[in-house]
Chains A and B, each alone.
Chain A
Amino acid sequence: MSRTKAFLFGQTAEHQPPEEYTYPLLPPPQSTQAASASPSSTSACAAPSSCGCQPPKPTAVDTPYKALLKADLQEAEPADGISRREMLQHLLIGVAATAAVASGCSENLEKGSLNWEEYFKKNYRVMTAQERTDTVQRLERLAQMRNEKKPSIQTKNAIPGVLYGYAFNISKCKGYMDCVEACIKENNLDRKSGMQYIRMFEIEKGKFNVNLDHADGTYHHEVPAAGHVYMGTQCFQCENPPCVAVCPVGATWKEDDGIVVIDYDWCIGCRYCQSACPYWARRFNWHEPVVPNTEVNPIQHYLGNRKRKKGVMEKCTFCIQRSRDGKLPACAEACPTGARVFGNLLDPNSEIRYVLANKKVFRLKEDLGTEPKFWYFMD
């Protein structure tokens, strides 16, 4: 079984979007046919019919939040239990509606009020359950307004009694990079810059050392190459993560199941965590990330693979949207050689515990005391 990793290199060029996004004729809001995702389409609307700013269909209105939108767009109807937040929203939408008469485009105003609420929302960690639900609804609605594939954003918490761990079998890995490809697709990684959470290194046999001094992270030829071993790195979800301590705004933290996550909407983009990480696991959005609409994975988690924006940090989360659903991370599922072992460290019968108990395992830079939950081993 021999493959090349050409798919990775061909892919970035192929999906390169045009420099300027143009929307001569926008498809209806719920369509998924738009050519590509746009960060902000702010075309001035002369008439609602020509710009796609149609009120949402009543059938889509099912939550209290959307009821408010309906109230604005159609006729006011009493909503019970109006909170202060909702009162504010009423007010904002009221102001917006007045202006709407002049501009003739209420969708831009709805978008404005949603973005306003998004801007002032809290750090995910201190949000109440209701606030989490609200922000998810706003994010889903905003995605819809951008004519993106409608995401389903989960806020599932850590499962009690679960601590995730990962082991990587250096003897088995052949460097096919199916894991990298699966990761890109699963986690909606920026196609424009060719972002990858997983790094694959090719090392000549006999030159292996834990400092990766003779490792080639840019190999581009048929694999496996004779006389070489392959070793992948990604975020090791340290038990003692240095990246978390340094964050000035607490935008990154370790969840109860051991996954180190980032609140993309709270990150200020100072990149201190990137300096603090001894494993080069963090990636920054140097540009507005681009994922073609047809390739967006809509099954998302707030702390995982949801849409990121420019100027924020991101990283591997052991596919939090999958692992908390009892699935393997995409990389482990995609691996054709069985080199990747993932499981619950607290379950004595798990495969990961078997590896830790029976194989000679090691971790990178153990001297730093970061306690990665990612082990390497050889058969």
Chain B
Amino acid sequence: MTPLQDRTLFRFFRDVLRHSVTGSLRYHLWMGSLTFLMALGTYAYLIQLNKGLGVTGMSDYVSWGLYISNFTFLVGIAAASVMLVLPAYILHDVDFSKAVLIGEGLAVTALLMCLAFVTVDMGGPHRLWHMIPKIGYFNWPQSMLTWDVIVLNGYLALNLLIPFYILFSHYRGRSPKKALYVPFIMFSVFWAVSIHLATAFLYAGLPSRPYWNNALLGPRFLASAFAGGPALMILILHFIKQNTDFPIAEETIRKLALIVTVAAQINLVMLGSELFKEFYAPTHHSQSATYLFFGLKGHKPLVPIIWTAILLNVFATLLFTFHRTRNNKPILLVSCTLLFAAIYLEKGMGLVVPGFIPSPLGEIVDYFPTWIEIAVTIGIWALGFFVFTLLVKAAIAIEKEYETHHRSEPH
């Protein structure tokens, strides 16, 4: 270990790097498998770069597919980290203070994955510099996509800056100054809501696609994110608790479960409201929903997906709602997994693809992702797991060392 007085920024990064390359055989196997999957994704992406986006299942009819579905879902996961930050820093709920660093790591990871998914979806990724203000032509404030670029990158910066400051202070054996970082945390709380609203407005601002052009889309994005994100956090915290001696209070998981419960219930209320609007008095604008839930003119590829998602969603929400099932750890883990899967299916393929069907001229063309899209998607998820593992491993090591030396000091 580097002596405390020699701990510079350079040594911080050197020690972080050392933490990331040392570990058990299981750790190396895990990182090795992820590297293999990333290589597979890279291979598929190179084919796509070379031949064009025509190697995907997308077409002029369904012009966004698996990539943008994953992007939309992951913005929600990034935004959900606010559900840990808010109680930990602002309500001074000490229970969350350990989990919050992990939450911020998850936000950073989800944002990197978002940026990766957007980049692989571009027809001209090498022309992305056209978006840089002043040098290029940044069509702000007209284009919602430019708003999304601002809020996502801003949120990424905030979620890198805050944990970096706390970890670097702890690394140097110091207590971080609240006056320095709490204002940024307050800011990040509002910012988190804005990233998911901006992403929802990207869709909701298109009158050409009645399925998305819906005032409930933004709130529903938030509700589903605040259910799915913390559900994933519970699974991660449980895994960390089981596999390391990083102290995570059982209370943290219990409170997170409560957050998931409320958000999942609100999400179901909104789903019911949407279904009522689409199917009580169906109009021409209900065709996309009809395509999604029941199929249209014999085309029904998404029907099994959406009903699986709804059943899982309702079942998981019920398990969360009853105290007995929520407080039972093995059942809680199952319901978290089911809910996460349900929201991934519903918000991914269930939101983006039916918005394009039928086309504005009434034509129905289905969308099926190709192996290239699936391989690239798996590669980006592997990248996410890889980055998250690195971030969390380093954070835990630094925090544990700080704890052993400064046990008496409050956070």
Please indicate whether A and B come from the same complex rather than being unrelated chains: yes
Binding site for B on A (CB under 8 A): 119, 123, 125-126, 193, 199, 201, 211-213, 215, 217, 233, 242, 245-251, 266-272, 274-280, 282-288, 310-313, 365, 368-369
Query: Are B138 and A242 in touch, CB under 8 angstroms?
Result: no
Contact stretch, chosen from B87-95, B335-343, B356-364, B381-389: B356-364
Bound-state CA distance A313–B122 (Å) is: 11
Task: List B contacts of A288 (CB < 8 A).
Answer: 52
List B contacts of A271 (CB < 8 A): 63-64, 121, 123
In the bound complex, do residue A286 and residue B122 qualify as a contact, i.e. CB atoms below 8 Å apart?
no
Q: B124 and A272: CB pair below 8 A?
A: no
Taking the closest CB of chain B, its distance from the CB of A88, in whole angstroms, is: 17
Given contacts A215-B362, A266-B130, A275-B64, contact A287 B52 (CB under 8 A): yes
Partner among A193, A212, A242, A284 whose Cβ is within 8 Å of the Cβ of B207: A242
Residues in B347-403 with C-beta less than 8 Å from chain A: 355-356, 359-363
Q: Could you tell me the distance between the alpha carbons of A193 and B61 in the complex, rounded to whole angstroms?
A: 14
Q: List 23 A-B contacts (CB under 8 A).
A: A119-B126, A211-B284, A212-B361, A242-B206, A246-B142, A246-B144, A248-B146, A248-B149, A249-B130, A249-B138, A266-B130, A267-B127, A268-B127, A268-B130, A269-B122, A271-B121, A275-B63, A276-B208, A277-B208, A284-B60, A284-B123, A310-B53, A311-B122
User: Which residues of chain B from 154 to 210 have a CB within 8 Å of any chain A CB?
Assistant: 202, 205-209
Q: Which residue of B lies closest to A122 (CB)?
A: B137
Q: Which residues of B contact A280 (CB under 8 A)?
A: 60, 359-361, 363
* Distance between Cα atoms of A193 and B284 in the complex (Å): 31
Contacting residues, chain B, for A267 (C-beta < 8 A)? 123-124, 127
Whether A248 touches B361, Cβ cut-off 8 Å, given contacts A268-B123, A286-B58, is no
B269, chain A: closest CB distance, angstroms: 28
Interface of B is mostly: loop
Task: Decide: B137 and A123 in contact? CB cutoff 8 A.
Answer: yes
Using A212-B361, A248-B146 as known contacts, say yes or no to A311 and B52 having CB atoms under 8 A apart: yes
Among candidates B64, B138, B139, B360, residue contacting A279 with C-beta atoms closer than 8 Å: B360
User: Which residues from B are CB-within-8-Å of A275?
Assistant: 63-64, 206, 208-209, 355-356
Q: Collect the chain A residues with CB atoms within 8 Å of residue B125's CB.
A: 268
CA distance in complex: A233, B127 (Å): 31
Query: Could you list 5 further interchain pairs (A-B, Cβ under 8 angstroms) beyond the known A248-B131, A287-B54?
Result: A212-B362, A215-B361, A246-B206, A267-B127, A278-B360
Which residues of A are found within 8 Å of B139, using beta-carbon distances? 247-250
- Whole-angstrom CA separation of A50 from B282 in the bound complex: 69
**Residue B248 at the A interface, CB < 8 A?**
no
- Is A276 in contact with B149, judged by CB distance below 8 angstroms? no
Complex CA–CA separation, A312 to B138 (angstroms): 18
Min CB distance B58 to A, Å, is: 7
Contacts of B131 in A (CB 8 A): 248-249, 268
User: Contacts A215-B361, A249-B137, A272-B143 known; A278 to B208 CB distance under 8 Å?
Assistant: yes
Say whether B47 faces chain A, with CB atoms less than 8 Å apart: no
Q: Which residues of A contact B360 (CB under 8 A)?
A: 277-280, 365
B300 to chain A, nearest CB (A): 18
From A123, A217, A283, A313, contact of B363 by CB (8 A): A217
By secondary structure, the A interface counts as: loop
Chain B residues with CB under 8 A of A266: 127, 130, 137
A309: shortest Cβ distance to chain B, in Å?
A: 8
- Cβ of B51 within 8 Å of any chain A Cβ, yes or no, is yes
Is residue B136 within 8 Å, beta carbon to beta carbon, of the partner chain?
Answer: yes
Q: Is B325 an interface residue (CB 8 A)?
A: no
Partner of B51, one of A212, A269, A287, A313: A287
Q: Are B59 and A286 touching (Cβ within 8 A)?
A: yes
Nearest Cβ on chain A to B349's Cβ, whole angstroms? 16
A311 — which chain B residues lie within 8 A by C-beta?
52-53, 122-124
Which residue from chain B places its CB closest to the CB of A217 in the assembled complex? B363
Complex Cα distance, B284 from A368, in Å, reads: 14
- A-side contacts of B127, CB under 8 Å: 266-269
Q: B314 at interface (Cβ–Cβ under 8 A)?
A: no
**Residue on B nearest A266 in the bound complex, by CB:** B130
Does B331 belong to the interface (CB within 8 Å)? no
CA distance A278 to B284 in the complex (A): 14
**B residues near A274, Cβ cutoff 8 Å:** 60, 63
Contact (Cβ within 8 A) A251 B130: yes
Cα A217 to Cα B361 with chains together (Å): 9
Which chain A residues border B126 with CB–CB below 8 Å?
Answer: 119
Report chain B residues within 8 Å CB of A368: 207-208
CB-CB nearest 3 A-B residue pairs = A269-B123, A311-B123, A286-B54
A238 CB → nearest B CB, Å? 11
**A196 vs B145: C-alpha distance in the bound complex, in angstroms?**
28
CA distance A56 to B125 in the complex (A): 34
B362 CB contacts on chain A under 8 angstroms: 211-213, 215
CA distance A126 to B149 in the complex (A): 23
Contacts of A365 in B (CB 8 A): 360
Q: Mark B111-150, 1 if CB is under 8 A from A, else 0.
A: 0000000100111111110110000111100111110010
Chain B residue at smallest Cβ distance from A243? B208
Asked if residues A269 and B361 are in contact (CB atoms below 8 Å), the reply is no
A69 to B9, CA, bound (A): 51
Please determine whether B123 and A310 come into contact, CB atoms closer than 8 angstroms.
Answer: yes
Closest to B359 in A: A280
Known contacts A248-B131, A312-B124; is-contact A270 B52 (Cβ 8 Å): no
Measured between beta carbons, the chain A residues less than 8 angstroms from B145 are 246, 248, 270, 272
Kindly state the separation between the CA atoms of A125 and B137 in the bound complex, as whole angstroms.
Answer: 10
- Our pick among A123, A199, A269 for the contact of B124 (Cβ within 8 Å) is A269
- What residues of A have a CB within 8 angstroms of the CB of B284 in the complex? 211, 213
CA distance A215 to B284 in the complex (A): 15
Which among B126, B136, B138, B139 has the highest number of chain A CB atoms within 10 Å? B139
How many Å lie between the Cα of A180 and that of B52 in the bound state?
A: 25
Given A212-B362, A311-B52, are A284 and B124 neighbors across the interface (CB < 8 Å)?
Answer: no
Query: Cβ of A279 and Cβ of B361 under 8 Å apart?
Result: yes
A193 to B60, CA, bound (A): 11
Name the residue on B nearest A253 (C-beta): B139
What string of 1s and 0s marks CB contacts (under 8 Å) between B207-245 and chain A? Answer: 111000000000000000000000000000000000000
Query: Would you call B59 and A270 a contact (CB within 8 A)?
Result: no
**Distance in Å: Cβ of A273 to nearest Cβ of chain B:** 10
Distance of A278 Cα from B360 Cα, bound (Å): 5
The CA of A193 and the CA of B355, in the complex, are separated in Å by 24
Bound together, the chains give a CA A268 to CA B121 distance in angstroms of 10
Closest partner residue, chain A, to B284 (CB atom) = A211
**Nearest B residue to A267 by beta-carbon distance?**
B124
In the complex, what's the smallest C-beta–C-beta distance from B35 to chain A, in angstroms?
28
Question: Which residues of chain A are within 8 angstroms of B122 by Cβ–Cβ distance?
Answer: 268-270, 311
